[in-house]
Structure 1
Amino acid sequence: MNRVVLGSTGIVSPQDAFGALPIQRISFDEAERLLRRAVDGGMSFFDTARAYSDSEEKMGRALHGLRDRVAIATKTMAKTPEDFWDDLHTSLSNLRTDHVDLYQFHCIDRVWELGDGTGMYECMVEAKRQGKINHIGVTAHKVGTAFEAVETGLYETMQFPFNYLSSPRETELVSACERKNMGFIAMKGLAGGLLMNADALMAHMACFPNALPIWGIQRLEELETWLSYIEEGQPRMSPELAAAIEADRAELAGSFCRGCGYCAPCPQGIVVNQCARMSLMVRRAPSDVWLSEAWQTEMDKIDSCTECRSCVERCPYGLDVPAVLKENLEDYRRLLARRVEAGSAESAVDGRGPA
């Protein structure tokens, strides 16, 4: 497997790392088993954030005592120096460590710089001087903002959504980081759960030797898939995998919801980060749960959308969210109607008649 050096940080990892956002959805015991298995299986880079509810606490419990075997990255969404220090001290306590290997400004909408009057970048410098952080990074969702951060030369790593659906401009960001000797961490490698061909995902990443993917992992079977590449070798691009990638691009490229949730909360109570991609979830991750009465009720809430556009203002991908919601609702109702029709036809054939 490729080994990635994160730019000037010198942090080295297999091209296969652990994104810890999903562990906030499982118990402490499950998270501990998952994280310890990841370390035993060869993963050495673990990424979390203050914003991920109890993810840091779970990571701290699981990786305490294994500190010399792992690099830990976390993030702050602070906008003031006071909040920066509060977040950092809370993170260190949660993670049960006296330092983090990489501290990142999380989902920035502006680039903090030295002397900009905010004192934010100066906080990073001071935290590094105190030995509480080893390296300074940044995460972004908007490509223009990401390029601004790269050009400052102030940041040692860039974390940005990257997978084989990425645009040429987003792909160029990976190369720009390489030229600047800036580590590149690829988040949203699964496009919010819509990409499921692990061989294709790994083969694509192999084409970018400076990119370190942090796969969002929640279940042991998912983890074992990623660990298998460390143990058995990383797939390389082939005509078959290239064809699978092109098929996904044809279906998914464009204005689709990645499920990040930054649009929340909705004043009408719409679960935007699921409802805005429900059509794709039904088709690509089939489950009866998506067509359940509970989700039908959630989808019906889209009818109450007032188009206040608060979700549009917060969407890091610039989507016309109300339009995407309505498209998903229309398609969802078509899928429900087909299921009802199929059920009626089955009843007629077996003589039961309509339910």
Structure 2
Amino acid sequence: MRYTMFGNTGFRVSSLGFGAMNLPGVPLEQARETLNYALDHGINYIDTAAGYRNSEEIIGECISHRRTEYFLATKTARRDYAGAMEEIERSLTRMKTDVIDLLQIHYVNTVQDFKAAMGENGAYQAALEMKRMGHVRFIGLTGHRPDLLTKWIAKDQFDQVLFHLSLVQPFALDELIPELIRRNMGRTAMKPLSGGFVQPVSKAIRYPYSQDVHTTISGMVSIAEVKENMAAMEAEIGEREKIELEALAKELGSHNCRRCNYCSCPVEVKIPDVMISSQVRRTFGLLPKGNEFYEKQQGPILSCAEHEPCKEKPLCEQQCPYHLPIQQMVTEASLLYNKVSPA
């Protein structure tokens, strides 16, 4: 396991971080075994959030007795001071700890959200107060808009940023990661499998491992998944492999969707998942989770082209800040259901 100094924090963190978002979906004893196995084998970065169902409580129940062995990161999605303070206090109780190593302002994707969180009565003030009280060590920011995140860190108010970095979303490399490096901030990559769409798993994990990030959060729910993810990081990345991975990321990321979720669909197509999986679907096919997604989305995807208000000018495309050809890509996805390939 590779360990690097996490920005200016003074902590050394493992290159593979444990994403605890999906732990509420498995039996408690399985979660306990998985978390303890991860700690036993050198993973020392645990990532969760107040909004991940009872994930924080699972961490408190399963590994709080080993608190000195891991760097603990959680998040608040509240934008107001009172709401954030309440969530942070509850997180401390749930995780049975006196201190959160990294408290992140969660899922900030719009200017309005950022202004609300950073305002006089915003969530950031709650994080600062808890830091002054010794219950929070560092403050971070998470989001899906690397271009905006790059601007928002300009005032040195944060110690870390959590961002997408995967074979299908390499966009943080353009501006965000270079700026984080320049400021020596903590760099945490998330969703290397992009929610279960990207394969092969080994390449998916090795891509962010090949870049200048400190830790990559992978959502794991079993010992087998921990082993698989750790095995992908056993060998260091050579220059030739790095070039190959970057070329693959350029191809698989050609959809240009950042998963910012500005778009909405009146027939409930899950647009970011369709966009992000589009090229990997053509190149490698889909993992079981991806196939399950398309089975569930068959109705909305097939009804997209016939939705009257969108025929002349698709509503989703009017909302997209990147002006992407969303309807065209959803139409291509619809061909999955009659096994006809796009021309």
| Normalised-by-shorter TM-score class | 0.7 to 0.9
Contact 2:198 2:280 in 1 (8 A): no
Alpha-carbon separation, structure 1, partners of 2:168 and 2:281: 20
Q: What residue is the counterpart of 1:56 in the other structure?
A: 56
Name which of structure 1's ranges 275-284 and 37-46 shifts more when overlaid on structure 2.
Answer: 275-284
Alpha-carbon separation, structure 1, partners of 2:308 and 2:105: 32
Give the 3 Å change call, closer, same or farther, for CA 28–310 of structure 1 in structure 2: farther
Alpha-carbon separation, structure 1, partners of 2:182 and 2:294: 47
Q: What residue is the counterpart of 2:148 in the other structure?
A: 145
- Number of aligned positions between the proteins: 330
| 2:17 equivalent to 1:17 | yes
Q: What residue is the counterpart of 2:286 in the other structure?
A: 285
* One-letter amino acid matched to 2:58: K
Give the 3 Å change call, closer, same or farther, for CA 304–64 of structure 1 in structure 2: farther
Residue among 175, 194, 208 paired with 2:197? 194
Q: Report deviation, 1:123.
A: 1.7
* One-letter amino acid matched to 1:299: I
Name which of structure 1's ranges 139-148 and 36-45 shifts more when overlaid on structure 2.
Answer: 139-148
- SS of structure 2 residue aligned to 1:125: helix
Q: Scaled by the length of structure 2, what TM-score is found?
A: 0.80
Q: Report deviation, 1:3.
A: 1.3
Contact 1:7 1:181 in 2 (8 A): yes
Alpha-carbon separation, structure 2, partners of 1:279 and 1:147: 27
Contact 1:113 1:121 in 2 (8 A): no
Alpha-carbon separation, structure 2, partners of 1:100 and 1:64: 12
Contact 1:2 1:15 in 2 (8 A): yes
Contact 1:21 1:52 in 2 (8 A): yes
Contact 1:112 1:121 in 2 (8 A): no
| TM alignment of 1:137-286, pairs within 5 A | 137-164=140-167, 170-228=173-231, 233-239=234-240, 242-243=243-244, 245-256=246-257, 258=259, 262=261, 268-276=267-275, 279=278, 283=282, 284-286=285-287
Larger gyration radius, structure 1 or structure 2? 1
Q: Report deviation, 1:204.
A: 4.0
Contact 1:4 1:209 in 2 (8 A): no
* One-letter amino acid matched to 1:235: E
| 2:302 equivalent to 1:300 | yes
Contact 1:56 1:95 in 2 (8 A): yes
Q: Report deviation, 1:96.
A: 2.1
Contact 2:159 2:185 in 1 (8 A): yes
- SS of structure 1 residue aligned to 2:137: coil
Q: Report deviation, 1:251.
A: 3.7
Q: What residue is the counterpart of 2:331 in the other structure?
A: 330
Q: Report deviation, 1:105.
A: 0.5
Q: Report deviation, 1:165.
A: 5.1
Q: Deviations over 1:164-221 (max 9, x none)?
A: 5555764432232222121111123333433334444455445444432112224443
Q: What residue is the counterpart of 2:41 in the other structure?
A: 41
Give the 3 Å change call, closer, same or farther, for CA 151–248 of structure 1 in structure 2: closer
Q: Report deviation, 1:269.
A: 4.2
Structure 1: gaps of 5 or more residues: 340-355
Give the 3 Å change call, closer, same or farther, for CA 249–179 of structure 1 in structure 2: closer
Alpha-carbon separation, structure 1, partners of 2:170 and 2:330: 27
| TM alignment of 1:126-145, pairs within 5 A | 126-145=129-148
Q: Deviations over 1:228-258 (max 9, x none)?
A: 356xx33313535633542343243233475
Q: Report deviation, 1:263.
A: 6.0
Give the 3 Å change call, closer, same or farther, for CA 304–61 of structure 1 in structure 2: farther
* One-letter amino acid matched to 1:27: P
Contact 2:192 2:217 in 1 (8 A): yes
Alpha-carbon separation, structure 2, partners of 1:24 and 1:74: 15
Identity within the alignment, %: 21
Give the 3 Å change call, closer, same or farther, for CA 129–333 of structure 1 in structure 2: closer
Q: Deviations over 1:108-134 (max 9, x none)?
A: 234469994335433222101222211
Q: What residue is the counterpart of 1:66 in the other structure?
A: 66
Contact 1:164 1:204 in 2 (8 A): yes
Structure 2: gaps of 5 or more residues: none
Q: Report deviation, 1:106.
A: 0.7
Q: Report deviation, 1:29.
A: 3.0
Q: Scaled by the length of structure 1, what TM-score is found?
A: 0.78
Q: Report deviation, 1:69.
A: 0.8
| TM alignment of 1:72-83, pairs within 5 A | 72-83=72-83
Alpha-carbon separation, structure 2, partners of 1:212 and 1:156: 14
Q: What residue is the counterpart of 2:84 in the other structure?
A: 84
Q: What residue is the counterpart of 2:98 in the other structure?
A: 98
Give the 3 Å change call, closer, same or farther, for CA 291–48 of structure 1 in structure 2: closer
Q: Report deviation, 1:157.
A: 0.9
Give the 3 Å change call, closer, same or farther, for CA 306–114 of structure 1 in structure 2: closer
Name which of structure 1's ranges 86-95 and 239-248 shifts more when overlaid on structure 2.
Answer: 239-248
